Amino acid sequence: MKTFVIFLVIAGLGVVFMIQKRSEQQSAETASSAAPKSVAANNSVATKSQPKPELTPAPRGQASEYNYMKRALDRAADVRDQARARTKESQDP
């Protein structure tokens, strides 16, 4: 009886896997047929507009207030440097 339940679970998972694969293939086919149209439209828009300038990174400690990841990295680097300086000072006689 236990083997039958295990077989049903494995068969059910197999069916779910097959349904998922078919849906992925169908979505990929529809996306591939729609992709050339959107790429052509994007190329015509891109040639008319001017290229965007490259973004320059903010100086250390002066990251944008809206970019919390840069601020977090800057703060982590500052804390690291302070801890290293304290350790070095305490080890010097």
Q: Which pLDDT score is estimated for 13?
A: 95
Closest CA to 63 of 75, 54, 49, 53: 75
pTM: 0.33
SS3 8: helix
Parse the chain into domains and list their residue ranges.
1-35, 59-93
Q: Would the pLDDT of 49 be above 70?
A: no
